[in-house]
Chains A and B, each alone.
Chain A
Amino acid sequence: MGHAANINFYEAGNKGIMSWLITLDHKRIGLMYFITTMMSLCIGGIFALLVRLELMFPGQQFFDPNTYNRLFTLHGAVMVFWFIIPAIPGALGNFFLPLMIGAKDVAFPRLNLLSYYLLLLGMAINLYGILHGPGADTGWTFYTPYSIKTGAAVVSMVVGVFFMGFASILTGLNFIVTVHTLRCPGLTWFRLPLFVWAIYSTSILQVLATPVIGITLILLTLERTLGIGFFDPKLGGDPVLFQHFFWFYSHPAVYIMILPAMGIISEVIPTMSQKTIFGYRAIAYSSLGLGLVSFLVWGHHMFTSGQSELANFVFSLLTMATAVPSAIKMFNWVATMYKGSISLATPMLYAIGFLFTFGIGGITGIMLGVLSADMHFHDTYFVVAHFHYVMMGGAAIALFSGIFYWFPKMLGRMYNEFLGKLSFWFFIVGFNVTFLAQFVAGLNGMPRRYHDYDSVYAGWNLISTVGSWGIALGILMIIINVVYSSFKGPKAPANPWKGKTLEWAAESPPVLENFEKTPTVTSGPYDYGLKA
């Protein structure tokens, strides 16, 4: 195997498109996930821009109500199932998890490739329903009884999601086994980088929660084809049961989206502050804690669905508990920055942006968890703004931070710093304009998912639509930066940020099996200032 030394994984081994399509290398699979999920972001983003365009003024602008319903459904479904869930574990997790633990690959490389193709298969089935069928108009939640009755392409949507769920399960399973069995010598559990802890916690959720939505969506398919009646009151079934099953997965799924994002922030902040992370164990345990609590709060999506008062009370109380591990992380990140040598390079800008936007997203989440207040907030734009602050201002912004942070390692070239910073300012200003306006519209009672609205909400909607263009420009700049710098960027050193975690000990880009010699770890991952 010695002949591969010093030759990076792009040039080592076979070349050509087939060598990528059937590769078992976690780095190549990670890059394929990266390209796929960034394309998904663009598709979902175009749907979002069209939705905002329609809502720019009251009354019908460009799309009739049916088209509008399809647009917001596809925006939600594409962003959730094609982009956020697979993006961080699939792209950055695949590429960096083995590197960070000093392994040659994930535990099951073939299964890893299978996961990727299951994701593509799911997307293809969805696309069939969108392009050849009547489209989907149920919202990404597929609530019964509407999803049983509508003439839209529900089956191709949910069967596609079933396969994407399978992909997610296998990725999680693969990562759990990888962390358990392939850590290099000296890498004890409490020397693991926090990104690894975050991915590990995410993987547990993927394995435990995803089978539930998988079989629930198959039941919905059987409901539509055979009329089995589980969710159909006409046959004695219960439509709210679908909501329970759906959120039993989809609430933990929120943490499948946000936990790896928090992992990225836990890497970027200590490196960019050149300071030991504050409260390592607290952050590691809070990832597991969030994972655990996430299984106990799904009922807060059903406060107005006729749940018992006792259940509402218990779910409301448990929802408050999610604030504790989230706040532990927030305080620890801020404490890490305190008196650090902070570099304001693009990854750090995005990470600091995350602290603000995720902070707003988290606190409004507590507001929504308050039972009495939620009676008013439920199904308004307040909810829409809240979960965009968590998903976009949390998961997506951390993904961007991670992309810039690890870009030199993945591509072996530096990105353009000026364009990177510019993209941040367009994104963060556009984002806050878009969704702060929606908070206000929601507080004033504007219902979500409607094609039209009362003219009292007109001003806030106009502001929100204009803000969405800022987000679009920011993301466009990220993509231009990534594509341009992949080919034309200056060569990157192995460790441009002076990071201490293992991936920075590898070449940029890494060699075929990551390290020429299996590394041995003798200290914690963020021991800045302790030794040279």
Chain B
Amino acid sequence: MSGAHEHLDHAHHFESVEHEFEAGKLGMWLFLVTEVMLFGVFFAGYGLFHYLYPEMFKEAHHHLDKRMGALNTVVLLISSLTMALSIAYIQRDNVKRAKQMLLLTLLCAAIFMVVKYFEYSHKIHLGILPGDLFKAADFQAPNIALFFSFYFVMTGTHGLHVLIGMAAILWIYWRMGRGDFNSRKFGAVEFVGLYWHIVDLIWIFLFPLVYLVV
């Protein structure tokens, strides 16, 4: 491009920062809708097989660690709070506090993944694996591997979303340090925040569904 452009703080095809923010926010909400549809497939499949094999689901879920799941729920809820606080601080031009809150969010996400790691490695050690790979003994109900297929696929996909969220948080942390955001312009922070909340919200559904079967 020519360099003759005046310096704009928003993309050239928008009228203002606010205009660009409005577009970005709508785009982000639409993206969150696709996430809901994606996990909706899991929930629909889970609902079907839970209906078909209620006894098997009840037996299988006792082999999940409820305390670890509950711990992770609390950790994620706290991370949603810190994420929201980070947005509140940047809206007040408090970059220092906003960055601290992002670091706390990252810390929570890391704790979540470490807990997940211990849960997974324990399951793998016992041979509790999805579908065909299932090798564990001492299970009564038929088709019990199917439950653990759901467990691994659902929590695995969610875990992948947590990792992507961590990368996104690191990215806005770096941009915040560069001075990209202030009380007028904080779109990316808010959008990553929205994403983080949906990742949290999906877990709020996953946890009772998988760990607390009735």
Contacts and interface: CB of A to CB of B under 8 A. Distances in A.
A211 B35 contact: yes
B107 interface: no
Chain B interface secondary structure, helix, strand, loop or mixed? Answer: helix
Contacts of B30: 173, 176-177, 207
Interface in A182-215: 182, 207-212, 214-215
Interface string B31-70: 1011101101110110011001100100000000000000
B13 A235 contact: no
Interface string B160-198: 000000000000000000000000000000000000000
Contact of A104 (B13, B49, B133): B13
A208 B49 contact: no
Contacts of B146: 229-230, 235-237
Nearest to B152: A228
B143 interface: yes
B146 to A, nearest CB: 5
B53 A236 contact: yes
Interface stretch (B20-28, B71-79, B201-209): B20-28
Given A105-B13, A177-B26, A236-B146, A241 B131 contact: no
B133 to A, nearest CB: 6
A238 interface: yes
A214 to B, nearest CB: 7
Contacts of B44: 245
Contacts of B4: 1, 3
B13 A229 contact: no
B41 A212 contact: yes
Given A177-B30, A215-B42, A235-B143, A107 B130 contact: no
A13 interface: yes
A182 B13 contact: yes
Interface residues of A, number: 43
Interface string A1-33: 101000000000100000000000000000000
Interface string A232-257: 10011110010001000000000000
A25 to B, nearest CB: 10
Given A181-B23, A237-B146, A513-B13, A230 B34 contact: no
A212 B34 CA distance: 8
Contact of B153 (A1, A173, A219): A219
Contact of B49 (A209, A212, A236, A513): A236
B133 A227 contact: yes
A359 interface: no
B138 interface: no
A207 B26 CA distance: 13
A490 to B, nearest CB: 32
B140 interface: no
A103 interface: yes
B38 A226 contact: no
B132 A235 contact: yes
B41 A236 contact: no
A3 B56 CA distance: 72
Contact of A230 (B22, B31, B56, B149): B149
A226 B176 CA distance: 42
Contact of B23 (A107, A212, A241): A107
A229 B48 contact: no
A215 B41 contact: yes
Contacts of A215: 38, 41-42, 157
Contact of A211 (B14, B27, B34): B34
A393 B110 CA distance: 54
A13 B3 CA distance: 11
A421 to B, nearest CB: 39
Given A1-B5, A207-B33, A210-B34, A226 B27 contact: no
Interface of A: 1, 3, 13, 103-105, 107-109, 111, 169, 173-174, 176-177, 180-182, 207-212, 214-216, 219, 222-223, 226-230, 232, 235-238, 241, 245, 513
Given A108-B27, A236-B146, 19 more contacts: A3-B2, A3-B4, A13-B1, A107-B23, A180-B23, A181-B26, A207-B33, A211-B38, A214-B38, A215-B42, A228-B130, A229-B130, A229-B132, A230-B146, A236-B52, A236-B56, A236-B143, A237-B49, A237-B146
